[in-house]
């Protein structure tokens, strides 16, 4: 048994042209902040990508000239094609009013396909599973990033090896504690650090490139092709680790809502991509001339005197890498909640200027618990690397699949264009996925288990809401016939305005029925308010309100529909203030808000398994209260209840 509010927001199926983005496109400050949040994950991949390649399976990939050139070539072209071309040139353009993430792409795609078709249902299932995979990846990234940096202490100070895990745990605790201050402040602080980090990546690589300029030829794709043909099995195994160089590519899309597309694209091409390329080339030269450094090539790039400062800087950078997926997790969670796949979440806006910059406490602490558990269980980045890559590659393939459907339905691409896109990017990502399949038995099951669990939660909530809504509608009865009964009933009229939160204009709010049938009173002015979540992230103020007099302009009973985007703050009093400006006859100064709360009981009725019903009840019990969620004044809100068996 638990309670859920009768005024749960209902996602609308309507689609429209997205209004102008709320982001201040391309500002230097946003570029700096984007560097501090978005690129931390992919920006710290040089710490462990090459190390993992050459230590995988007890050193199966030998540091020979052909292997090193082949691995670097594969790495460079993977970054170029998947990140620079696919993600930035195509995927980030499939934005939903500036918002990104696979769930946003799925909902945007569903709005372009025929309702009721197979694709209509399939795209949201793919989006839900992709979002769940992102959460699974979000657990591993902070753990592996921080541990890989702190493990660098073993190079200048081997005696500190026993303290690596403890230091990493302290860093993670501090990182999650500061999240409540918001990505805006975190990004402003981290941005300058990441500028220094990327410049350091280039500074570490340049001397090694100058010492052997021939290493620049590793950028040629023929080395990757030759490597694959000469040693197909070894190249296949290497691809399972090369994919670590593009981890974070999915975070670029998920974090787009925090800063906008233009700052992300500019920061990537002006600074991030060149510096990553230079550093990987430097590592190639280091491994070629000093094969013994292949177990930790990054930290051996620096002179011995600079090893310790490099560890400190790398640790700061990996903290920022963790920030990228944490921020993305907030965005994806809010999208899932607003689209009806999670119960109400308490979302706190952390910036007055950027609507995408938010903090969700329950997501923050769930991630914190998961990351700490992983670090304690796996203890080393090398062991965590075996669990890394499976969720990332699956998420990339799902994004490619959804974009192909979107390109066909919305962009009207020709069939050959869609086929070319799918072949180029899908083939690369499938090979990366195949190279990671073996990891499933060695830790890769973990993100898949998390993703499967979250996917079950999201689909259960969606299905449970549908069943409860069906039962509630029967209990409420139609609105207009009930208003006719009210007009003919002798009720005491009390002064003031009564505002009833209710999902629609077709059925009667339970609180209104209870107030009239049992208290025998009705307010002089009655406003029934429904909130609708549209298929765009943001709805402008001029399109937010619709007022309906319900067929009688003189009975002072009105219905107001407040339209919100799935990223908008659902502030009901602010929306009603707009309605008053547009002609709603109601006084809000002393208005009393009525919320119907439904107590849910499980029954033997068909529709959902009993274990899923238990899960739904538990989720509803922990949902945010409607008073906080809809920004209602606590002192003027009355909660009235009813029971529903589903």
Q: How far is it, in rounded angstroms, from Cα 448 to Cα 611?
A: 21
Q: Which of residues 476 and 576 earns the better pLDDT score?
A: 576
Predicted confidence band of residue 351 (pLDDT cuts 50, 70, 90): low
- Which of 426, 442, 458 is at the close of a domain? 442
Task: Say if residue 381 is in the same domain as residue 499.
Answer: no
What's the confidence (pLDDT) of residue 226? 94
Q: Do 499 and 385 fall within a single domain?
A: no
pLDDT at 301: 93
Least confident of 368-372, 401-405, 444-448: 444-448
Higher pLDDT, 478 or 188: 478
5 domain-assigned: no
The residues near 349 (Cβ < 8 Å, ≥ 6 apart) are 355, 357, 358, 569
pLDDT of residue 243 exceeding 70, the answer is yes
Domain presence at residue 461 = no
Lowest-pLDDT choice from 388-392, 404-408, 518-522 = 388-392
3: pLDDT strictly greater than 70: no
250 assigned to some structural domain? yes
22 in a domain, yes or no? no
Query: What is the predicted pLDDT for the residue at 459?
Result: 93
Provide the pLDDT for residue 437.
83
Q: What is the pLDDT of residue 258?
A: 64
What is the reported pLDDT for 629?
Answer: 84
At 505 the pLDDT is: 85
Question: How many whole angstroms separate alpha carbon 250 and alpha carbon 248?
Answer: 5
CB 560 within 8 A of CB 525: no
Q: 């490597």: which residue's tokens?
A: 227
CB 126 within 8 A of CB 403: no
> Is 625 found in the same domain as 515?
yes
* Predicted pLDDT at 19: 36
pLDDT above 50 (res 341): yes
pLDDT at res. 261: 82
Q: Kindly tell me if the per-residue pLDDT of 356 is higher than 60.
A: no
**Are residue 418 and residue 505 in the same domain, yes or no?**
no
The answer to the question of residue 308 being in a domain is yes
Q: Which of 567, 568, 594, 589 is nearest to 577 (CA)?
A: 589
> Whole-number mean pLDDT of the chain?
84
Rounded distance between C-alpha atoms, residue 530 and residue 548, angstroms:
11
- Strand, helix or coil for residue 255: coil
Does 49 or 387 have the greater pLDDT score? 49
The pLDDT value given to residue 178: 80
- The residue segments making up the domain with residue 502 are 473-645
Q: Is the pLDDT of residue 370 over 80?
A: yes
- Mean pLDDT calculated for residue range 102-126: 82
The Cα 594–Cα 623 span in angstroms is 18
Per-residue model confidence (pLDDT) at position 1: 42
pLDDT in tens, 8-38: 444 444 333 333 334 444 456 778 877 877 8
Does 460 fall in a domain?
Answer: no
For the stretch 392-434, pLDDT in tens is 888 889 999 999 999 988 888 999 999 999 999 999 999 888 8
- Residue-by-residue DSSP string for 512-576: HHHHHHTS-EEEEEEEEEEEEE-SSS---GGGSEEEE-TT-TTS-EEEEEEEE-TTS---HHHHH
pLDDT of residue 111: 79
- Whether 262 and 162 share a structural domain: yes
Give the domain-ending residue among 420, 442, 464. Answer: 442
The verdict on residue 238 lying in a domain is yes
Burial class of 479 by CB neighbour count within 10 A (0 to 12, 13 to 18, 19+): buried
Cβ-proximal residues to 507 (8 Å cutoff; 6+ apart), any chain? 472, 473, 476, 477, 478, 479
Give domain status of residue 348, yes or no.
yes
List alpha helices for 437-524, DSSP H: 445-476, 479-487, 510-517
Rounded to 5 degrees, φ, ψ at 113 are -100, 165
Residue where a domain terminates, one of 442, 462, 484: 442
Distance, in Å, from the CA atom of 590 to the CA atom of 73, rounded to the nearest integer, reads 69
Strand spans (E) along 557-636: 557-564, 592-601
Say whether both 401 and 491 belong to one domain. Answer: no
Higher pLDDT, 600 or 498: 498
Burial level of 478, CB count in 10 A (0-12/13-18/19+)? exposed
Q: What percent of the chain has pLDDT above 90? A: 28
Among 69-78, 152-161, 262-271, 610-619, the range scoring the smallest mean pLDDT is 152-161
Same domain, 434 and 477: no
Note whether 481 and 334 are same-domain residues.
Answer: no
Ramachandran bin of 59, using left for φ above 0, alpha for ψ from -120 to 50, beta for the remaining angles: left
Quote the number of domains for the chain.
2
CATH (domain of 183): 1.20.1740.10
Same domain, 432 and 490: no
What confidence tier does 70 reach under pLDDT thresholds 50, 70, 90?
Answer: very high
Q: Are residues 182 and 318 in the same domain?
A: yes
**Is 511 found in the same domain as 431?**
no
| pLDDT at residue 97 is higher than 70 | no
> Which tops the pLDDT comparison, 622 or 399?
399
The percent of residues in the chain predicted with pLDDT above 70, rounded, is: 91
Asked if pLDDT for residue 498 goes beyond 60, the answer is: yes
Which stretch of 129-133, 198-202, 284-288, 573-577 has the lowest confidence by average pLDDT? Answer: 129-133
Asked if residue 531 has pLDDT above 60, the reply is yes
Read off the pLDDT of residues 542-554 as tens digits, 9 standing for 90 and up.
889 999 888 777 7
> Is the distance from CB of 61 to CB of 236 less than 8 angstroms?
no
- Same domain assignment for residues 342 and 485: no
Cα end-to-end span (Å), the chain: 11
Structural contact between residues 195 and 258, judged by C-beta atoms closer than 8 angstroms: no
């Amino acid at each position: 048994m638990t309670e859920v509010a009768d005024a749960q927001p209902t996602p609308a199926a309507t689609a429209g042209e997205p209004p102008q983005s709320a982001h201040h496109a391309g500002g230097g400050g946003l570029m700096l902040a984007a560097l501090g949040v978005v690129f931390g994950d992919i920006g710290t991949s040089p710490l462990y990508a090459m190390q993992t390649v050459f230590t995988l399976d007890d050193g199966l990939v030998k540091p020979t000239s052909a292997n090193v050139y082949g691995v670097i070539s594969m790495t460079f072209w993977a970054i170029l094609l998947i990140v620079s071309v696919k993600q930035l040139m195509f995927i980030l353009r499939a934005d939903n009013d500036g918002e990104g993430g696979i769930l946003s792409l799925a909902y945007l795609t569903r709005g372009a396909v025929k309702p009721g078709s197979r694709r209509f249902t399939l795209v949201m299932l793919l989006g839900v599973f992709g979002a769940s995979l992102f959460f699974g990846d979000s657990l591993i990234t902070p753990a592996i990033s921080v541990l890989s940096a702190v493990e660098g202490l073993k190079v200048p100070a081997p005696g500190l090896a026993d303290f690596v895990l403890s230091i990493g745990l302290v860093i993670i605790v501090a990182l999650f504690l500061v999240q409540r201050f918001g990505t805006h402040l975190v990004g402003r602080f981290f941005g300058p650090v990441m500028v220094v980090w990327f410049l350091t990546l280039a500074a570490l690589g340049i001397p090694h490139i100058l010492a052997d300029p021939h290493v620049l030829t590793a950028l040629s794709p023929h080395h990757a092709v030759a490597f694959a043909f000469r040693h197909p099995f070894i190249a296949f195994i290497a691809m399972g680790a090369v994919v670590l160089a593009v981890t974070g590519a999915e975070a670029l899309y998920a974090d787009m809502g925090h800063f906008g597309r233009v700052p992300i694209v500019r920061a990537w091409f002006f600074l991030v991509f060149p510096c990553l390329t230079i550093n990987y080339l430097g590592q190639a030269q280091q491994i070629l001339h000093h094969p013994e450094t292949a177990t930790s090539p990054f930290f051996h790039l620096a002179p011995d005197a600079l090893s310790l400062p490099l560890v400190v800087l790398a640790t700061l950078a990996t903290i920022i890498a963790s920030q990228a997926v944490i921020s993305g997790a907030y965005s994806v969670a809010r999208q899932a909640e607003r689209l009806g796949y999670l119960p109400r979440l308490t979302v706190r806006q952390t910036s007055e200027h950027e609507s995408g910059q938010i903090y969700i406490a329950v997501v923050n602490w769930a991630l914190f618990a998961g990351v700490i558990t992983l670090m304690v269980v796996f203890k080393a980045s090398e062991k965590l690397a075996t669990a890394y890559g499976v969720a990332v590659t699956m998420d990339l393939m799902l994004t490619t699949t959804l974009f192909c459907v979107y390109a066909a339905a919305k962009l009207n691409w020709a069939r050959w264009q869609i086929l070319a896109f799918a072949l180029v990017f899908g083939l690369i990502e499938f090979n990366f996925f195949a190279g990671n399949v073996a990891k499933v038995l060695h830790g890769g099951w973990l993100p898949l288990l998390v993703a499967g669990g979250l996917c079950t939660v999201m689909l259960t909530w969606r299905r449970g809401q549908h069943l409860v809504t069906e039962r509630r509608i029967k209990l409420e009865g139609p609105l207009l016939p009930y208003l006719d009964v009210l007009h003919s009933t002798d009720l005491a009229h009390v002064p003031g305005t009564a505002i009833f939160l209710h999902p629609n204009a077709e059925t009667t709010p339970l609180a209104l029925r209870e107030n009239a049938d049992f208290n025998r009173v009705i307010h002089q002015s009655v406003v029934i308010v429904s909130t609708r979540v549209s298929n765009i992230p943001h709805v402008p103020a001029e399109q937010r309100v619709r007022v309906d007099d319900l067929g009688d302009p003189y009975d002072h009973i009105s219905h107001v529909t407040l339209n919100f985007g799935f990223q908008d703050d659902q502030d009901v009093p602010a929306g009603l203030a707009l309605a008053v400006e547009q002609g709603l006859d109601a006084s809000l100064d002393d208005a009393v808000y009525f919320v119907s709360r439904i107590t849910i009981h499980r029954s033997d009725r068909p529709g959902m398994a009993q274990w899923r019903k238990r899960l739904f009840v538990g989720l509803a019990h922990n949902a945010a209260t409607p008073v906080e969620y809809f920004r209602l004044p606590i002192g003027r809100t009355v909660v009235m209840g009813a029971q529903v068996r589903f």
